């Protein structure tokens, strides 16, 4: 069993560099299946989700070379094979294999996706899109089989009933080699979608409109190899900015795209957080007399649900009362009970998080219930007086590259212990 142990209350200072976006790379790697030659990704984070995806790709026959943050994948020998369980069940992004395998082979047999338990996250929008393009689905045990019965996928007009990043990307993956034109309406607009579309276009796809609510894809017969730089991880950046505002005495966060964080930065400014924003970095000063605010998550460009939990410990330092409403994932409140164990004045009421501050958190034994909840507990542990032990940290390692080393470089007393 692994756990993180933090002796908190130490002010942090220095610089930290943000890695490539986890929510991009988990789609970019399956997208490589569609290429007929080598694809190289730069800026790949050292996270366990990437390790799992590499293992899956190698099982399928890909030749993978990894050096630092550079990942080279040769997909030419990939075989279409059933993947009902194992690593597939450990990560949510396994559903991207549906789109890429359908696009290349016309069929896919993949186990149901795993990941964090954040409440209902159905894949019906994905299936609706695949069916519109000519695929049909059958359930066989604990896995799903999609097939076109040997035919090529056909372009279609697809309206997303709700805005979905996963369904938008998966539809793009399936459509790039379909026959004819595919139009996705009410598409998600996240930067990670633009990143995936950029890779596919660099491979020879014809995608227009990524980043807007209407994406048009003209199918092509083949896609070639390329080299691609993964965008910076806006959620990792927001996490470290929150941490710097909560416990820092001058922290610079490098490799940040402000344009991807505007709604988040606006909320920090509403609190009174003092920072200097540069072209590709943000310097966060030491803070005092912050003001409590209300937060409501919404699809991009609104306040990201993935930043709701990491900002919560910072909110507990503010003066006054506030609330958080997560409109994306109803169960994204599991960090609240753990923060309450650390003497935080925070609770849930009617599917809202309510808090009061300022608080002096106290070290405690707590458990990470999902990836971003784990990040919130790390920040809380750094803020707290005394010793904090965090268990279930596999969630944290899924999405934060070299987190222990980065925090130590800022002066944190933190260690990962394996028992």
Query: Is 116 one of the catalytic residues?
Result: yes
* Helix 234-247 and helix 371-383, axial crossing angle in degrees, nearest 10: 20
306 among annotated binding-site residues: yes
Long-range contacts for 83-87 (Cβ within 8 Å, ≥24 apart)?
Answer: 83/56, 83/59, 83/109, 83/110, 83/111, 83/143, 84/109, 84/110, 84/111, 84/141, 84/142, 84/143, 85/111, 85/142, 85/143, 86/111, 87/52, 87/53, 87/55, 87/56
Q: Specify the DSSP class assigned to residue 178.
A: S
396 among annotated binding-site residues: no
328 among annotated binding-site residues: yes
208 among annotated binding-site residues: no
- What is the Cα Rg of the chain in Å? 21
Instruction: State the Cα angle at 53 between 232 and 374, rounded to 5°.
Output: 60
92 among annotated binding-site residues: yes
Contacts of 269 (CB under 8 A, 6+ apart): none
199 among annotated binding-site residues: no
Q: 8 φ, ψ to 5°?
A: -90, -175
* 51, 83, 95, 113, 375 from 143: Cα distances, Å: 22, 8, 11, 9, 31
158 among annotated binding-site residues: no
| Cβ contact 368:390 at 8 Å | yes
Which one is catalytic: 116, 127, 324, 403? 116
88 among annotated binding-site residues: no
123 among annotated binding-site residues: yes
Helices (H), 45-175: 48-60, 96-105, 124-132, 165-175
Catalogue the active-site residues: 116
- Residue set of the binding site for phosphoenolpyruvate: 22-23
Binding residues for UDP-N-acetyl-alpha-D-glucosamine: 92, 121-125, 306, 328
Cite the annotated binding site by residue number: 22-23, 92, 121-125, 306, 328
């Amino acid at each position: 069993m692994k756990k993180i142990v933090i002796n908190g209350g130490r002010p942090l200072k220095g610089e930290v560099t943000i890695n490539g976006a986890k929510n991009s790379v988990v789609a970019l790697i399956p997208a490589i299946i569609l290429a007929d030659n080598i694809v190289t990704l730069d800026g790949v984070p050292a996270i366990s989700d990437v390790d799992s995806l590499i293992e899956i790709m190698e099982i399928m026959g890909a030749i993978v070379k990894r050096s630092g943050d550079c990942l080279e994948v040769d997909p030419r020998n990939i075989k279409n094979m059933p993947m009902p369980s194992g690593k597939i069940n450990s990560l949510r992004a396994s559903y991207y294999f549906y789109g890429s395998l359908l696009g290349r082979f016309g069929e896919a047999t993949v186990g149901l996706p795993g990941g964090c338990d954040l409440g209902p996250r159905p894949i019906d929008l994905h299936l609706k899109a695949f069916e519109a393009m000519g695929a049909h689905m059958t359930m066989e045990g604990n896995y799903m089989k999609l097939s076109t019965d040997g035919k090529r996928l056909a372009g279609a007009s697809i309206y997303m009933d709700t805005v979905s990043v996963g369904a938008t990307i998966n539809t793009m993956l399936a459509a790039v080699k379909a026959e004819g034109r595919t139009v996705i309406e009410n598409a998600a607009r996240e930067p990670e979608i633009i990143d995936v579309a950029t890779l596919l276009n660099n491979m020879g796809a014809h995608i227009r409109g990524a980043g807007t609510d209407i994406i048009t894809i003209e199918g092509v017969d083949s896609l070639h190899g390329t080299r691609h730089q993964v965008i910076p991880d806006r959620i990792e950046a927001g996490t470290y900015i929150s941490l710097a505002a909560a416990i820092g005495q001058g922290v610079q966060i490098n490799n940040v795209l402000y344009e991807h964080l505007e709604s988040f930065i606006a909320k920090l400014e509403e609190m009174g957080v003092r920072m200097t924003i540069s072209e590709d970095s943000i310097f966060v000063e030491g803070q005092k007399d912050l003001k409590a605010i209300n937060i409501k998550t919404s699809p991009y460009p609104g306040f990201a649900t993935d930043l709701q939990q990491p900002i919560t410990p910072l909110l507990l330092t503010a003066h006054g009362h506030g609330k958080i409403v997560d409109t994306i994932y109803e169960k994204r409140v599991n960090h609240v009970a753990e923060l309450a164990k650390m003497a935080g004045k925070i609770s849930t009421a009617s599917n809202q998080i309510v808090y009061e501050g300022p608080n002096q958190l106290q070290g405690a034994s707590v458990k990470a219930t999902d990836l971003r909840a784990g990040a919130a507990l790390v920040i809380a542990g750094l803020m707290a007086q005394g010793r904090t032990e965090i268990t279930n940290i596999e969630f944290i390692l899924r999405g934060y590259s070299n987190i222990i080393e980065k925090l130590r470089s800022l002066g944190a007393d933190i260690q990962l212990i394996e028992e």
